[in-house]
Structure 1
């Protein structure tokens, strides 16, 4: 049996982003998990325009070529880890736009988060959990928050995230939850018929 595939999505595209450090730190630990296969997906490699399709691809095919490539890419994974910053109490515009560019590809799959910033992107992650529910994902309870002195030490003072041993239990718990939910939902997707969806929207779409 092949391992479930997990996309680790870098949610910032800024030239000066910090995201590469927590991504490398997380992937080093992910490599020790023999039961899940992790792959980094960088939003810089998908220069999506601001969403301007006639509708979500839940309703109509996406016309933009990069959007189509993005959908094909993420659709091949069984779960997701979002590496996220926090801008003005919310996730980055690039990450929100990327989430909006797909719908069935996200459905009935787990998602969890590695956040960084002064409060560990806690408020951004709460936004993302709500977005994930609307996309029919299963957001996990456990996330990793790199915050406060830990964040500023790694960002401004050259400290290594590898030295932050107090983050390790959270990472271990994240992996355990992610492994369970990924396998449970993958089995359900492959062996059961999903309930008929009734689309109700107040967004004007």
Structure 2
């Protein structure tokens, strides 16, 4: 299903958020595969937001640090998100939850999709848990998702089809929410 971005003044700003900071992670490879797929679509401006590039504090401080503000700024600039998450012990990484909590208003009224990965379960439980988090942040989580089984190849026809469906849904929601917010401010 193709979604037209014709007539759109500027490309939709999509942030691909890499949620793992673990040494030897697979998330960089999975995230780059998805970023390249998204970058091939007309009407999108794709940016990678990689949590390993931020020096977040070990404890949540009373006042935000410069790194927390830099992260919140990256979230604020984006109009749509794809969260690339592994599944660790039936959930998403603590590093991802910590980072997500450093922004709040910046997530409101923006679509969020998921690319999850893991062995066997493909990260589905991590994505399910994150849907609850982003619902509380007043984001719109999209139904389409990409699930990667690390016991198989990356980027086959089934995953490419899933990625295309996710991107189509994100673009639709991203443009619809951009237009809605241009007409009237989002209420919080």
Same fold (TM over 0.5): yes
- CA distance in structure 2 between the partners assigned to 1:193 and 1:178 by the alignment: 20
Displacement after TM superposition at 1:194 (Å): 2.6
Question: Is the counterpart of residue 72 in structure 1 residue 90 in structure 2?
Answer: no
Q: Any residues of structure 2 matched to 1:63-142 within 5 Å, and which? A: 63-118=64-119, 119-142=121-144
Q: Structure 2 stretches of 5 or more lacking a match?
A: 1-8
| 2:12–2:175 Cα contact (<8 Å) kept | yes
> Equivalences for 1:174-189 in 2 at 5 Å?
174-189=166-181
Counterparts of 1:104 and 1:50 in 2: how far apart (Å)? Answer: 22
1:22 aligned to which of 14, 18, 30: 30
Q: 1:143 corresponds to which residue?
A: 145
Aligned-CA RMSD value:
1.3
Q: Does 1:39 align with 2:47?
A: yes
Cα distance between partner residues in 2 of 1:122 and 1:183 = 27
Distance, in Å, in 1 between the alignment partners of 2:66 and 2:168 is: 36
Residue 82 of structure 1 contacts residue 112 of structure 1 at CA under 8 Å; is this kept in 2? yes
Unaligned runs of 5+ in 1: 55-61, 155-160, 198-205
CA gap of 1:100–1:51, structure 2 versus 1, over 3 A, is farther
Q: How much has 1:51 moved relative to structure 2?
A: 4.7
**Structure 1 residues 108 and 50: alpha-carbon distance in aligned structure 2, compared to 1, 3 A threshold:** farther
Give the whole-Å Cα distance in 1 for the aligned partners of 2:58 and 2:133: 17
Q: Displacement, 1:63?
A: 2.6
Q: Distance in 2 between matches of 1:140 and 1:153?
A: 25
Question: Greater CA radius of gyration, 1 or 2?
Answer: 1
| Runs of 4+ that moved beyond 4 A | none
- Over 3 Å counting, the alpha-carbon distance change for 1:127 and 1:7 in structure 2 is same
Counterpart secondary structure, 1:168: helix
Distance, in Å, in 1 between the alignment partners of 2:47 and 2:186 is: 27
Q: Say if 2:183 is the partner of 1:191.
A: yes
> Using the alignment, how far apart are the partners of 1:194 and 1:32 within structure 2?
31
> 1:53 Cα deviation (Å)?
3.4
The TM-score, its normalising length taken from structure 2, stands at 0.90
